[in-house]
């Protein structure tokens, strides 16, 4: 069974990586799908994010990193994936993610969303928090993979 783990991953955090590492134990293949959202102004280009994710998931043989535009369910159909993998941190995530899961089912009833509760040590973590800390010179080495921390520090230096 193939699962799609969609997101902007700008940047990928240790929380995202935790979901990926746990997801590969549940599914035959996990496709980490970097969404190209023209309404967002990302810190890293789509190509940079793909390369960052490939590097920090290189130890996982059943992970593929790809990108897409448009609707997640259309990408899932294209990749013949019937599962969308999503991480949940806090209650407000659940409300938003449940709404998205229901919406996706109205678009394609062949897709299911599987939620993984984020490990408690990452329950506060978001890409936005990482960027905010880095912007003001704080340490992010405990929040993102080492290769990503170097890229972020280079960006803000």
pLDDT tens, per residue, the chain with 157 residues: 999 999 999 999 999 999 999 999 999 999 999 998 877 789 999 999 999 999 999 999 999 999 999 999 999 999 999 999 999 998 888 999 999 999 999 999 999 999 999 999 999 999 999 999 999 999 999 999 999 999 999 998 7
d(C-alpha 119, C-alpha 23), whole Å: 13
Residues recognised as catalytic: 16, 40, 89, 127
Question: Where in the sequence is the domain holding 55, given as residue range(s)?
Answer: 2-156
- Residue 118, CB half-sphere, CA atoms under 13 Å: how many? 20
Number of domains in the chain: 1
pTM attached to this predicted model: 0.95
Domain with residue 88: its CATH number is 3.40.50.620
In 2-148 the beta strands, taken as DSSP E runs, fall at: 2-7, 29-35, 63-68, 83-88, 112-117
């Amino acid at each position: 069974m193939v699962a799609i783990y969609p997101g902007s991953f700008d940047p990928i955090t240790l929380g995202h990586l935790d979901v990926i590492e746990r997801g590969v134990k549940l599914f035959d293949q996990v496709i980490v799908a970097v969404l190209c959202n023209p309404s967002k102004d990302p810190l890293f280009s789509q190509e940079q994010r793909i390369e960052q994710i490939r590097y920090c998931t290189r130890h996982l043989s059943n992970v593929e990193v790809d990108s897409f535009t448009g609707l997640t369910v259309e990408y899932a159909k294209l990749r013949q994936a019937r599962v969308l993998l999503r991480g949940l941190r806090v209650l407000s995530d659940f409300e938003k993610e449940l709404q998205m899961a229901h919406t996706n089912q109205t678009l394609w009833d062949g897709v299911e969303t599987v939620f993984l509760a984020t490990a408690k040590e990452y329950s506060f973590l978001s890409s936005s928090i990482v960027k905010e800390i880095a912007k003001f010179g704080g340490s992010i080495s405990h929040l993102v993979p080492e290769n990503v921390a170097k890229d972020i520090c280079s960006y803000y230096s």
